[in-house]
Amino acid sequence: MLQSRPRRQENGGGLMSDVTLTIDGQPVTVAKGTLIVEAARKLGIEIPVYCYHPKLAPVGACRVCVVDVENQRRPIMPACATEVMEGMVVHTRNAAATRAREGVIELLLINHPLDCPVCDRAGECDLQDFTLRYGHGQSRFTETKRHFEKSKQIGKEVILDRERCIMCMRCVRFCDEVAMEEGLTIIERGTKSEIGPFPGRSFDSQFSGNTVEICPVGALTSRSYRFKSRPWELQNYASVCNGCATGCNLTVDVRYYEVARFRSRCNDAIDDGWLCDRGRYGYKFISSPERLKKPLVRKDGQLVEATWAEALEVAAAGLKKFPADKVGAVAGPRLSNEGGWLLTRLMRGLLGSPNLDHRRGLAFREGEPLKLTAKIEGLDTATAIVVVGCDPTRTNPGIDLRIKKGLRRQAELICIGENGLSGYADYRVGSLAELSEAYANLPEEEKKGLNYPRPRPWEAGGSTSTDLEKAAKVLKKSNRVVFVFSEDHPVEGLEALAEQIGVEAPHGLLMLVAGANSVGLREMGVLPVFAPGWQKLAEAKEAYSTAWGAFASGEGADYAAMTGSSNPLQAMVLVAEDKLEKKPEFLVVLDLFSSAIAKQADVVLPASSFVEQVMTMTNLDGTVQLCRQALPPLGESLPDWQILYRLAEKLGQKWDTDTAAKIFAQIGSLNPLYPAASYNDFQTEAAVHWSYPQQGKIGTPRADLSGIPVHRPDAAPWMGAPDTGSKVERVSRLLAGDQPPAVPGQLDPRQMATRLSLVLPVVQDPPPVPGSRITASAGPQAPGPSPANRYHAIGGGARELPLPAVQIKQTEAEQPVQEVTEA
């Protein structure tokens, strides 16, 4: 543990009162405990920072944020570590502050190599940007710089350049405070200080990529992105990770129709600004040569390439051949809400078959869904977190970090069974039954425990108590208890215990599901015993019959039956599912890759990945989130919903939901869990929260958006300006000389970074991708970012480039399905 405790209370602690102060002559009122740098940001005044990071405790080490505060013994104060006081008068731009800041930047640069031309970070480097904005014009340092081995691989994905390091310690603090692991540390002291893994160890963390992202300079770079791109060549799209059901928000950075990297796109309610390495580096499959690019049809026992029309024809004919109750569908959790909705419609509405399911665990038992009241955010405010027989560190790393955040605040951790968090547990309990019993046996009035910071297990060497009574008392502290459990493990008695404690949203049961959109698919009705939105089949029949023409309201075969060895079905549609023990007579597979199952199929239809389409997913706490399209579909692949739409067409029904947006609108109108909202509601809110109902009764509408905090992490709208047509501005082509520079004449110093691009070779535009609906041409320029958002809330100070923002006109959501042009 590097940082000194106590840490600043992340949410204040007691009563919050307001403080009014003056910064650069402008009055501002902020909550007590706010730091000067945060108050200044509220006014749109930029104060440069390196060591400061909003998700880490203030450390005040780099001193670049120095400001001049009147009436202080030491007037030059670090804005990132000084809390505001009533009547404080702060100057960020006066002579003293400017001179102090210049001095600090000059000192920071004395040992920093001038290797910007070969540094990955150049163009999005805080040191570069702030030096241009606030530094001396030139260095007076003529002595010898400190030298280290230039690049050193310290982990699977992380490469360290110690010469570039400015010792802001963000990475060390991330490992220490957020991941709570012994990841990186500081070795030696003074100018000899260097960052590194603990001697004799490597940086093996499943969160290592976050250190690369928050590094304000090019000291930490990732192997996957290193030397691959320049930041100003990238187009950024808001998306959502589909690695697991946590639903961490990410930005897809695309360079020439290829994903260059994923970055975190902070959503306080979901991911808190972090990504796990599995999600962050899990993009390589998108451009894999193994991807299916053309439909395949079995001819003479062999799967051969076919046209879409041909393949769909064969698929439709095959499905029509069998009676409805012998036809079924299984969907894997990669499928979007839109795809799931059309799959339900295809099966229940068109084919009249109730046989549809997706991989499921214990979301409902005895015909009733569980009361899942917990939100991920609830872990922050919980007084007790009980991990019941599951391992979030393995299945849902984002939840792992969130549990640790809860622990750092006030929660006590009870682990039932061994898991990756056991070392952090205050209490380890053998079974839930034991704990419930101990809880039931507690006397009515139980005194509250002392609340002062006590040595926690991870600080005191890992000693944990198995004292059941003490563990049960922890549950008595308040009703802010979160039970984290997995859909794959029995949870007998969990609901009863939660009820006894009287949990309320956002606390209660938090179910970890493995698949990215498992929750969404369940709510889309991809279930044999429920209609969409957990409605009773009989009750829903009327509404869906009206909307869809017909609705098979019987109960069908479930996942186990359909994928098991005694599969009763004769024809099946498999979407992104890789388990099937007995192949039916006719099998249609929609997938990205030619899996073992696909190799047995009669028709294989190539599907697009989540970055190649506009779609929504619902994460494990019920938050519906939108993925923007970042790439054209690979080859001839199509989004799953389009494939299903076309299949319905071949089966003789022309549906009115011929765009993703229309499907989403229909979901809103029919599914009681989803509000009558459109994609445009995501336009300003990158993630819209439709929380589970406050009372924990699943089944009531959760359409009320008022009063639910909405997070707006991304300043850029998800769609371009409304009337610019489908245009993409390629920044690097402009700079490479195809056209005159956007701003002729002398470059503003702030645009200096762009000069670096002039040394790049002339880059030809890539050839048009077949089927692409994005065309490249010079488009209108958006104004540069305002000082307030110049540095992103998360992920490294001056992240936004001082370049015109790249605007993408997204057409996928609005454009109806077109006839497929045969290649």
Partner 1 sequence: MPHPQEKRILFGWRDIKDIGSLKVYREKGGYDAWLKLLKEKQPAEVIELTKASGLRGRGGAGFPTGMKWSFVPNNLGKPKYLCVNCDESEPGTCKDREIVEHIPHQLLEGIGIACYAVGIQKAFIYIRGEMYEGYLSLKKAIEEAYAAGLFGKKIGGSDFECDIVLHRGAGAYICGEESALLSSLEGERGFPRLKPPFPAVSGLYACPTVINNVETLATLPPIFRMGVEEYAKLGTDKSKGTRMVSLSGHVNNPSNFEIELGKVNFKQLIEDFGGGMRHGKKCKAIIPGGASAPWLTMEQHGEVTLDFEAIAAARSMAGSGAIVVMDEDTCAVGAALNLVEFFHEESCGKCSPCREGTQWLTQILHRIEHGQGKMEDLKLLDEICESMLGKTFCPLGDSATVPVSSSMRYFRDEYEHHIKEKCCKVGPGAKKTAGV
Phi/psi of residue 298, each to 5°?
Answer: -80, 120
> Is the bond leading into 506 cis (omega within 30 degrees of zero)?
yes
Rounded CA-CA distance 619/515 in Å is 9
**Residue from 3, 22, 202, 772 binding partner 1 (CB under 8 A):** 3
Q: Which is nearer to partner 1, 108 or 259 (CB)?
A: 108
Minimum distance of partner 1 from residue 456's CB (angstroms): 11
Select the span of 115-123, 139-147, 278-286, 515-523 touching partner 1 (CB under 8 A). 139-147
Q: Show the binding pattern over residues 50-69: x = contacts partner 1 (CB under 8 A), - = does not.
A: --------xxxxxxx-x---
Q: Which is nearer to partner 1, 6 or 783 (CB)?
A: 6
Q: Which is nearer to partner 1, 164 or 375 (CB)?
A: 164
Minimum distance of partner 1 from residue 61's CB (angstroms): 5
Minimum distance of partner 1 from residue 173's CB (angstroms): 11
Q: Show the binding pattern over residues 165-194: x = contacts partner 1 (CB under 8 A), - = does not.
A: -xx-x---------------xx-xxxxxx-
Residues 453-482 that bind partner 1 (CB under 8 A): 453, 455
Q: Which is nearer to partner 1, 145 or 365 (CB)?
A: 145
3-class DSSP state of 520: helix
**Residue from 103, 417, 568, 635 binding partner 1 (CB under 8 A):** 103
Specify whether the CB–CB gap between 89 and 71 falls below 8 A.
Answer: yes
Q: Which is nearer to partner 1, 107 or 651 (CB)?
A: 107
CB atoms near residue 756 (< 10 Å): 17
Greatest Cα pair distance, the chain, in angstroms, is 89
Rounded CA-CA distance 369/391 in Å is 22
Binding footprint of partner 1, residue count (CB under 8 A): 49
- One DSSP character per residue, 644-701 reads HHHHHHHTT---S--SHHHHHHHHHHH-TTS-S--TTHHHH-SEE--PPPTT--BTB-
Residues 69-98 that bind partner 1 (CB under 8 A): 74-76, 81, 83
Asked if 143 touches partner 1 (CB under 8 A), the answer is yes
**Residue from 4, 302, 706, 746 binding partner 1 (CB under 8 A):** 4
Specify whether the CB–CB gap between 127 and 219 falls below 8 A.
Answer: no
Q: Which is nearer to partner 1, 55 or 173 (CB)?
A: 173
Q: Which is nearer to partner 1, 107 or 708 (CB)?
A: 107
Phi/psi of residue 485, each to 5°?
Answer: -140, 170
Asked if 215 touches partner 1 (CB under 8 A), the answer is no
Close Cβ partners of 514 (under 8 Å, ≥ 6 residues apart) = 244, 245, 333, 359, 395, 487, 488
CB atoms near residue 105 (< 10 Å): 22
Minimum distance of partner 1 from residue 8's CB (angstroms): 8
Minimum distance of partner 1 from residue 169's CB (angstroms): 8
Minimum distance of partner 1 from residue 190's CB (angstroms): 4
Q: Which is nearer to partner 1, 89 or 782 (CB)?
A: 89
Q: Which is nearer to partner 1, 6 or 117 (CB)?
A: 6
Minimum distance of partner 1 from residue 143's CB (angstroms): 4
Q: Which is nearer to partner 1, 189 or 447 (CB)?
A: 189
Distances (CA, A) of 80 to 33, 519, 589, 635: 12, 40, 55, 49
- One DSSP character per residue, 764-812 reads PPPPPPTT---EE---PPPPPPPHHHHS-SSSSTT-S-SSPPP-B---T
Minimum distance of partner 1 from residue 3's CB (angstroms): 8
Distances (CA, A) of 166 to 127, 162, 172, 268: 9, 9, 12, 28
Select the span of 162-170, 534-542, 640-648, 658-666 touching partner 1 (CB under 8 A). 162-170
**Residue from 108, 154, 248, 494 binding partner 1 (CB under 8 A):** 108
Select the span of 100-108, 255-263, 406-414, 528-536 touching partner 1 (CB under 8 A). 100-108
Rounded CA-CA distance 609/710 in Å is 27
Q: Which is nearer to partner 1, 186 or 440 (CB)?
A: 186
Close Cβ partners of 793 (under 8 Å, ≥ 6 residues apart) = 54, 266, 273, 713
Q: Which is nearer to partner 1, 110 or 782 (CB)?
A: 110
Q: Which of 618, 630, 623, 589 is closest to 606 using CA atoms? A: 589
Select the span of 210-218, 223-231, 444-452, 538-546 touching partner 1 (CB under 8 A). 444-452
C-alpha 404: how far from chain center: 18
- The percent of the chain in helix, strand and coil, each rounded to the nearest 5, is 25, 20, 55
Rounded CA-CA distance 207/161 in Å is 19
> Is the bond leading into 675 cis (omega within 30 degrees of zero)?
no
51: amino acid identity, one letter: C
The pair of structure tokens assigned to 587 is: 């099998």
Cα dihedral 190, 196, 199, 200, rounded to 10, equals -160
Q: Which is nearer to partner 1, 7 or 226 (CB)?
A: 7
The pair of structure tokens assigned to 568 is: 């009763």
Minimum distance of partner 1 from residue 202's CB (angstroms): 21
Minimum distance of partner 1 from residue 177's CB (angstroms): 13
Minimum distance of partner 1 from residue 696's CB (angstroms): 35
Rounded CA-CA distance 474/497 in Å is 13
Q: Which is nearer to partner 1, 64 or 415 (CB)?
A: 64
Select the span of 2-10, 316-324, 487-495, 653-661 touching partner 1 (CB under 8 A). 2-10
Minimum distance of partner 1 from residue 49's CB (angstroms): 12
Asked if 110 touches partner 1 (CB under 8 A), the answer is yes
First vs last Cα of the chain: how many Å apart?
60
Q: Which is nearer to partner 1, 3 or 811 (CB)?
A: 3
**Residue from 21, 28, 47, 111 binding partner 1 (CB under 8 A):** 111
Specify whether the CB–CB gap between 694 and 707 falls below 8 A.
Answer: no
Select the span of 86-94, 137-145, 330-338, 540-548 touching partner 1 (CB under 8 A). 137-145
Phi/psi of residue 618, each to 5°?
Answer: -115, 125
Query: Contact positions toward partner 1, by CB under 8 A?
Result: 1-6, 58-64, 66, 74-76, 81, 83, 99-100, 103-104, 106-108, 110-111, 140-141, 143-144, 146, 166-167, 169, 185-186, 188-193, 450-453, 455
